[in-house]
């Protein structure tokens, strides 16, 4: 009863319209199930009503009306059950529609209603299958229908459609085929462009514009996916690095040179880590690396390699060669460790590297002094 009330309040339609554009396979299947159920329930009610009308007024062949009524009632019951269980079958629906197409074409020739019902079914094939598969199926139905209309003796059939009615039907069928194809193609392309635009905006939102690395938003999204990432079930490590005296670079050489240095540092970091690791521009001249399946020793070796690569690189400017260095802090956790605690420990180790004179690597298991005024890493909530 409650499910029926929801149907009449159009709650199911609101849910259908508000499914996300980037819906996954499960949501897309659910969307398809709802569409099929709506269409077939509507069709079954119409078929049942018209069949009862034809039986009542003795319109058309009696056995044909009885068959159509039976199909209508069977479809109504089946798709009501499907609505309650949220499960339906696209293949079964298509087979039923194809059967009805040829059944009406062969038997329901009173006042050309069979031809009219065949035309009604045509756009539904596109709606359920899309413009590619729908187009192929409808063309096959068109060719088969043309053979039945003009060469019924080949199939031992007795149809009474005139040549004029058959030609008009096939012409209308082709026109509706073209219109339905265009509508479905445009709908598909529009949806595709909307999805591409959404993906682009999502990438822009979680990417640092200057360096192309992940930003804090991207890191927060990554953390939200950690539970689903099997590689994070093993040990992981964090490296926090901060460029030394970067403010002096901006003051002496200008922000354009500073931006150039940040881009070059980002390139160097990308070249040194694996594709499954995450590099984040944490803010200003500070970078964070999240390394999957890595212990403290492996992270320390990588951090030292990063330090040496950066300190050995000199950048050409209008005022001469520019040398840059980085202070790095490292921490690692075993399976089931607290990622936020690891981030904080790596950050404290980085500040210890600053205190020890910069351009060095400090691990979290080192003797770290509490620096006055030291700020904790600003972690996303």
Q: What is the pLDDT of residues 291-308, one digit of tens each?
A: 988 889 999 999 999 999
pLDDT digits 0-9 by tens, 112-129:
677 887 888 888 889 888
Dist CA 103 CA 88 (whole Å): 23
Residue tagged 């590099």 (tokens): 279
Task: Please count the CA atoms within 13 angstroms of the CA of 166 that sit on its side-chain side.
Answer: 18
Rounded mean pLDDT, 23-49: 64
Catalytic, 28? Answer no
Residue 7 pLDDT > 50? no
- The ranges of the chain annotated as CATH 3.30.70.270 are 216-363
Q: What is the mean pLDDT of residues 17-37?
A: 58
pLDDT over threshold 60, residue 216: yes
What local confidence, expressed as pLDDT, does residue 283 receive?
84
**Cα–Cα dist 7/229, whole Å:** 38
Instruction: Name the band, by pLDDT with cuts 50, 70 and 90, for residue 183.
Output: very high
pLDDT at site 1: 47
Question: Which of 285, 304, 370, 375 is labelled catalytic?
Answer: 285
pLDDT interval class at 28 (50, 70, 90): low
To the question of pTM greater than 0.75 for the whole model, the response is: no
The topology under which CATH files domain 216-363 is: Alpha-Beta Plaits (3.30.70)
112 Rama sector, left if φ>0, alpha if ψ -120 to 50, beta otherwise: left
pLDDT, tens digit, for every residue of 310-328? 999 888 877 778 999 999 9
Query: What's residue 136's pLDDT?
Result: 94
């Amino acid at each position: 009863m409650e499910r029926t009330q929801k149907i009449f309040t159009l709650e199911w339609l609101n849910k259908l319209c508000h499914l996300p554009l980037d819906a996954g396979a499960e949501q897309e299947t659910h969307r398809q199930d709802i569409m099929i159920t709506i269409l077939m329930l509507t069709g079954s009610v119409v078929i049942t009503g018209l069949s009862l009308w034809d039986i009542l007024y003795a319109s058309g062949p009696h056995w044909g009306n009885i068959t159509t009524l039976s199909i209508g009632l069977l479809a109504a019951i089946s798709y009501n059950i499907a609505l309650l269980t949220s499960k339906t079958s696209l293949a079964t629906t298509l087979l039923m529609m194809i059967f009805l197409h040829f059944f009406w074409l062969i038997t329901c020739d009173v006042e050309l209603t069979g031809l009219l019902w065949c035309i009604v079914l045509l756009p539904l094939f596109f709606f359920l299958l899309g413009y590619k598969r729908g187009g192929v199926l409808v063309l096959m139905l068109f060719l088969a229908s043309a053979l039945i209309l003009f060469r019924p003796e080949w199939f031992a059939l007795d149809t009474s459609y005139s040549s004029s009615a058959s030609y008009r039907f096939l012409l209308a069928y082709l026109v509706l085929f073209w219109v339905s194809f265009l509508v479905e193609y445009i709908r598909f392309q529009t949806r595709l462009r909307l999805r591409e635009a959404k993906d682009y905006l999502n990438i822009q939102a979680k990417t640092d514009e200057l360096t192309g690395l992940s930003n804090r938003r991207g890191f927060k999204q990554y953390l939200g996916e950690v539970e689903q990432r099997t590689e994070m079930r093993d040990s992981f490590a964090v490296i926090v690095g901060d460029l030394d005296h970067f403010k002096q670079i901006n003051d002496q050489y200008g922000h354009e040179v500073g931006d150039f240095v940040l881009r070059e540092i980002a390139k160097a970091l990308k070249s040194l880590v694996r594709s499954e690791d995450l590099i984040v521009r944490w803010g200003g001249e500070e970078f964070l690396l999240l390394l999957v399946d890595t212990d403290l020793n492996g992270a320390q070796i990588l951090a030292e390699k990063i330090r040496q690569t950066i300190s050995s690189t000199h950048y050409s400017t209008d005022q001469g060669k520019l040398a840059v260095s980085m202070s790095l802090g490292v921490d690692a956790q075993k399976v089931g460790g607290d990622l936020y605690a690891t981030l904080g420990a790596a950050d404290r180790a980085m500040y210890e590297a600053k205190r020890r004179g910069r351009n060095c690597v400090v691990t979290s298991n080192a003797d770290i002094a509490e620096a006055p005024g030291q700020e904790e890493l600003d972690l996303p909530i």
